[in-house]
Structure 1
């Protein structure tokens, strides 16, 4: 399957966490047979020998490029993957056959890169890099992301504490590309590199909380923003540019805070890499500036090699002040020799967004319209029940010289209005999404776009047309020049409908053929498929991917090809390349090649899916692992693995041998393992998810118990007198609630990084589901674990608490508050602290200890 390009060498360093990507070849007749700590540790080590290479070879981050050769056009597909016997991601490519083959074969993988220094382990990464990995939940090493200029074949990516660039120039050669370090005078990490759409020699990045740009042809770099002072103290240095605040990254999934002005011509155009116009040329970036001066500073004990023991973070706890955000446009020029002018122009919105929209709390999305005439923003209020999509004319950004000049300009200039082109409201909450595609307009007074909303109770697609000008046919609200805002009238056409969910992550729009490709769960709430629907004449969406699998899809820029990475509960991940075919109105997918075929592993025992009708009348989905040493007529101890919170779905018809391999390990040691998605989990509609609204921790456990008891009555191997509950983060919170609320059901609880008091967690997440502490005092009190401390069992060895000491997400303060309450009530507990770990355990030694400890605790107490 893997073709090593001539002369290629791959970096190899075993820095991957292996609990999530390994399996046990050692089986025991029963966990009641006590084993020593060393024997359990050896069992954990054995689990690392079978699947770590496979577990991380799943391809991802696909890009397509069609290249003209002497034999005609050839399509090359690039992606991130892990070659055999390596434990770091790298860039790989495959070439599609230039002619259709009678038999579809497996496409050989080729190394795109020659050797370069191996990736840095977590301990050698900068603080910014470590925190970004935490926000993005990245657990692998090597190349984890890249930007790509399609026509030029240029890649830019961060790795090994550096930025690298490489060009795929000679497609007929099998020689690998040698990546070159992007030279810099910056001391420290360069984050979020993005290639300029109008000049592939320009790369913008963030360094030390400001935006910089480098010219690859000249080697010159220039600082573009000057928000951060570099004092080294948060209290005196609250400003940053190009970096979203903690809450925006953690709770709204936006990780970038700057956006290049769009290309004059599409990236797929052969002229893309050639900049048009006279020299010098002007380039623009939309930049978010964040002011965290009112955000609380938390001090976290942080042991390090130099024994400096305190780290500082800006962290807005529920009910406290959030960061303020401002938008600006940065302009600079570059001459023919690649020299960047030191005259940087900074333009601010002539009044801050909060002047026009005093209700706004969060800037959740931003960018440019395709014609560059407008900046768009999505604004969300504090309660997250009101969202507005706004167009801001570029002319509203002005140079800021002085207060006097600013007053003069405001009085003498008639600025174009900011335009509200869509508003969404909910009495529950609004889940933010990434579905927005502006369509070409036939009339300058109309702004058509594709949008998504859950206003029907389920996320669906709509074609919306906003009317931004005055006309008798489409009147608009009266425009108040003093306020500077115009609310457009809109018409909308539903493109999908029904009691099923469209995925909120991405859509692909073919404007010429008026088709939308999207991922959704129309056929099953536990299977994700690719569908297509017309936005001109919408009818029932057509599924393009194979049933009985869950699919993740990547499209070429011209939407003629796509890659699907797919799996099922009992099938290892596979990957195929397909060609879109359209005959009349019928759209279908034709298989072109196999990227990764079926894999067999006899040692792997997949879980089994189940579902049942709950007492409340809805369908509940779950899965369970049978003990590997299952004997008829014998009942086995149970581990209920729980998350239970919103925005997460654990039970899907997809392969679980990667993320949940630890559950397989437990089953191999003689435990039955059960997972249940009750109300509160996602992809079942807003009403299903919002059952927990304003009462986190009060309803979830009873649904978990109901599912567990239903399963026990339908299989003959579950021992309900020996049940452990185990989870991490929200799952750790529910594990505590399970032991406190139902100690009759749960004999032991293994609790990882738990929320204990919602008043201590962040604004964006907590207030979405609980409102503010002032508005929902009873909900916060009833949802606090410490309110149930008297209900915890008096017997020892029933509660094990695990937490990383430098967790900057769910702070160790939660566990400290719990321990104080347990001590005050004289309740027994066990505590395991990992001094150098954050919210997830990243280091190999900590992972090995954790896995061994869990097995030891279960065998001794369950």
Structure 2
């Protein structure tokens, strides 16, 4: 085997960033249905996204695509420079591309704002022109006001605003005397971005005259240090990391009047009228969602620290007082879903709720879906219906394994928008629906712009076509009907005999791997083509089936391993699996699961590749870990039972110790490298064989091309050696 094979799948997989480059994404439809705005790079190997506009008006049936902002031209060929804050934002969103990676628009979708190399740019979407605005930087998360007259943005811990013409740049809210660098305005805190999918820290009013601004104080949060041992001359990065059982950041919310902020720009902020939004932050410290539309008062979703209670709150914009619109409680936890809560145009509350054993769409006081459907996200709320993405529910009859479809829902019933077998999502406005689809038989994704009474318009993808084709067989396995995918080597014939097995799961909460999509299995197929039968199984705790399925792992994430074993043994009755040669690989939770497999079930698993494993669960963050296991102070036995680094964690039946390769990025600020160092020390003390592969300068992602490529090659070499394969 040689590394860096120019035309190999690992090289292509790394060069194309998992075949995501060149694919259109981040769609916005104008309310008049005349324009679709999106991001796309120029080729399947180009990292720099440009801002594009698809014009739908005119006599032609296909529409006209044009570039609204080209990052290469705007930077005049200079290399992009990112601030530490912007790098952290991209890490939280797992963004590996460059150029324009995000944008925001006014309500008419005529003005777009984006940050590029720490500078603020505005693009006139009708005219197709873009220009840099002279403001203080580095700029983070710029957002135009709904009327398009102003752009607010975060910079150096403060929230600032400028005219859309670049005039009148000023500070709206910033750290005052005594607050210091621990206090920021307008940015999401670590766990909001990492675990709640709330990446924003400020919200415009529909009238463009006020903003809701989050104030985050990280001074209560413990400080960790992330160093780069390959560069001992560099200072370690100091990060505020709220490990489970320790204090979180203090998050408050303020209403700020834009017109009252015209005072002098000083170190202690402007003469800004600010009103604090008041709720019981001691009982409900997590600010999970903020929604502000013309359909009602500002709407907040706040959660208790144990995530078993939450309030939907309406804000009085004159006083900052809040009133409870709805209250939820759950004995396990309350799931956060994209797109909700929100107001319908008629003022009714729209939410997803776990009721009667099912996840249902609720508008006002009425549930509009039942157990046949499992809503995943609210995509759009219209005058007459709600657009949702959903998978089959527990009572759907014949399950559509791995499929996610788009549905229109109202009081009259449910109508499916997407038709092809696959995974679908959508964006909708102005009578136009942008349908994004991935299917099992074709690589990549397709984008169709749907308009009633007119032919659909396709948005081109420049993503590369993979050099291999994944042939996943989707099925259910075992008494728990575990969704599974089985991949055999290309051209395999049963007369060749049984195959060594590689389990390739994520296997944990929020990580569905068994989906009806070609690209989801490309890496698994490559491993299969190296001589393995590869199994991807989504056991209890993974999303997409029912609340009971997801929440069955409360205080017992070890069920995830039980279900991998159950799926393996059940599938061995139908597929040519050699149960005497079984390996498991995974990253993050999947890395934990892989290490857990060889440590707890060496009778089943004979080798493991554990990437960025969470070995000591006390070192992971509050919002995620406490949701499933409680706190270490209140439930120490739960943490001890799940740990990989305690005597109990290393105990196993009388079976030979199994080889393990542990891979970890030294710059990881999500699953810090201490997890791997503690695991390696515990394994060494117990006399268990293992290899450690440290990745210099690598975070929880592995976007670097050569690293991502060679990681695949080194893993397959280790697995073949460990299983005695030629």
Normalised by the length of structure 1, the TM-score is 0.76
CA deviations 1:710-749 (Å, max 9, x no partner) are 2222123x32222210000000000011001111222210
Pick aligned residue for 2:609 from 750, 753, 760: 750
Aligned: 1:526 with 2:402: yes
User: Does the aligned pair in 2 maintain the 1:701–1:734 contact within 8 Å?
Assistant: yes
Residue 699 of structure 1 corresponds to which residue in structure 2? 559
> Deviation at 1:785?
0.9
CA distance in 2, matches of 1:253, 1:571: 30
2:131 pairs with one of 177, 180, 183? 180
Determine the structure 2 residue equivalent to 1:713.
Answer: 573
2:459 equivalent among 558, 573, 595: 595
> CA offsets per residue over residues 402-453 of structure 1, 9 Å max, x none?
xxxxxxxxxxxxxxx6311100111111001232332456xxxxx6322221
Partner of 1:544: 417
| Higher deviation after alignment, 302-311 or 544-553 | 302-311
| 1:249 counterpart SS class | helix
Query: Alignment partner for residue 345 of structure 1, among 272, 285, 305?
Result: 272
Q: Deviations over 1:140-196 (max 9, x none)?
A: 2222111123547222112233222221344xxxxxx4532222233xx21110001
**Contact 1:728–1:754 at 8 Å: present in 2 too?**
yes
| Equivalent residue, structure 2, for 1:112 | 68
3-state SS of the aligned residue for 2:599? helix
Report the Cα offset of residue 647 of structure 1: 1.5
Change (3 A) 1:252 1:601: closer
Distance, in Å, in 2 between the alignment partners of 1:650 and 1:252 is: 20
Change (3 A) 1:91 1:226: closer
CA distance in 2, matches of 1:289, 1:624: 48
Match of 1:714, SS?
A: coil
User: What's the offset of the Cα at 1:54?
Assistant: 6.0
Structure 2 residue 283 is matched with structure 1 residue 359: yes
Map of 1:651 onto structure 2: 514
- 2:380 — aligned with what? 508
- Identify which range, 49-58 or 80-89, moves more after superposition: 49-58
Partner of 2:483: 621
Corresponding position: 1:564 with 2:520: no
TM-score calculated relative to the size of structure 2: 0.90
Decide whether the 8 Å contact of 1:41 with 1:852 is kept in 2: no
Q: Distance in 2 between matches of 1:38 and 1:507?
A: 43
1:103-141 CA deviation, whole Å, 9 max, x = no partner? xxx65643333533389879x522111111111111222
1:149 and 2:106 aligned: yes
Q: How far, CA to CA, are the matches of 2:231 and 2:681 in structure 1?
A: 30
| Counterparts of residues 378-777 of structure 1 (less than 5 Å) | 378-397=301-320, 418-433=322-337, 434-439=339-344, 448-464=348-364, 492-504=365-377, 506-511=378-383, 514-522=384-392, 524=400, 526-534=402-410, 538-556=411-429, 558=430, 560-572=431-443, 573-580=445-452, 591-596=455-460, 603-612=467-476, 614-615=478-479, 618-634=480-496, 635-656=498-519, 660-696=521-557, 698-716=558-576, 718-777=577-636
Partner of 2:705: 844
Say if 1:308 and 1:52 are closer, same or farther in 2 by CA, change over 3 A.
closer
Q: CA deviation at 1:252?
A: 0.6
- How far is 1:292 from its partner? 1.9
Which whole-Å deviations, capped at 9, do the CAs of 1:563-583 have from their partners, x for residues lacking one? 1111212223222111247xx
- Structure 1 unaligned spans of 5+: 1-34, 68-73, 171-176, 265-282, 398-416, 442-446, 465-491, 582-589
Deviations 1:471-490 (A, max 9, x none): xxxxxxxxxxxxxxxxxxxx
Structure 1 CA distance, aligned partners of 2:125 and 2:653? 62
Q: Cα distance 1:119–1:736, how it changes in 2: closer, same or farther (>3 A)?
A: farther
Which of 211, 222, 239 does residue 170 from structure 2 map onto?
Answer: 222
Say if 1:595 and 1:230 are closer, same or farther in 2 by CA, change over 3 A: farther
Unmatched 5+ stretches in structure 2: none
Q: Is the 8 A contact 1:332 1:341 kept in 2?
A: no
User: Are 2:477 and 2:567, in contact at CA under 8 Å, matched by a contact in 1?
Assistant: no
Higher alpha-carbon Rg: 1
From the superposition, tell whether residues 764 and 49 of structure 1 become closer, same or farther in structure 2 (CA, over 3 Å): closer
1:328 is paired with a residue of what secondary structure?
strand
1:212 aligns with 2:160: yes
User: Judging changes above 3 Å, is the alpha-carbon distance between structure 1 residues 736 and 793 closer, same or farther for their aligned structure 2 residues?
Assistant: farther
Alpha-carbon separation, structure 2, partners of 1:454 and 1:848? 42
Given that residues 500 and 685 in structure 1 are in contact (C-alpha distance below 8 angstroms), is that contact kept between their aligned partners in structure 2? Answer: no
Partner of 2:236: 310
SS at match of 2:285: strand
How far apart are the structure 2 equivalents of 1:840 and 1:208?
Answer: 26
**Match for residue 29 of structure 2 among 41, 44, 64:** 64
CA contact (8 A) 1:629 1:670 kept: no
Aligned with 1:791 (options 634, 641, 652): 652
Q: 1:224 to 1:495 in 2, by over 3 A?
A: same
Q: CA deviation at 1:46?
A: 5.0
Question: 2 CA distance for matches of 1:179 and 1:324?
Answer: 38
Cα pair 1:44 1:852 within 8 Å, conserved: no
1:214 is displaced (CA, Å) by: 1.7
SS in 2 for 1:181: strand
1:752 Cα deviation from its structure 2 partner = 0.3
Matched position secondary structure for 2:348? strand
Helix, strand or coil at the partner of 2:237: strand
Greater alpha carbon shift after TM alignment, 217-226 vs 241-250: 217-226
Tell me, yes or no, if the aligned pair for 1:119 and 1:142 is still in contact at 8 Å. Answer: no
Query: Are the equivalent residues in 1 in contact too, given 2:664–2:695 (CA < 8 A)?
Result: yes
Correspondence for 1:859: 720
Q: Are the counterparts in 2 of residues 800 and 831 from structure 1 also a CA contact under 8 Å?
A: yes
Determine the C-alpha separation between the residues in 1 that align with 2:31 and 2:509: 41
SS at match of 2:298: strand
Determine the C-alpha separation between the residues in 1 that align with 2:501 and 2:42. Answer: 37
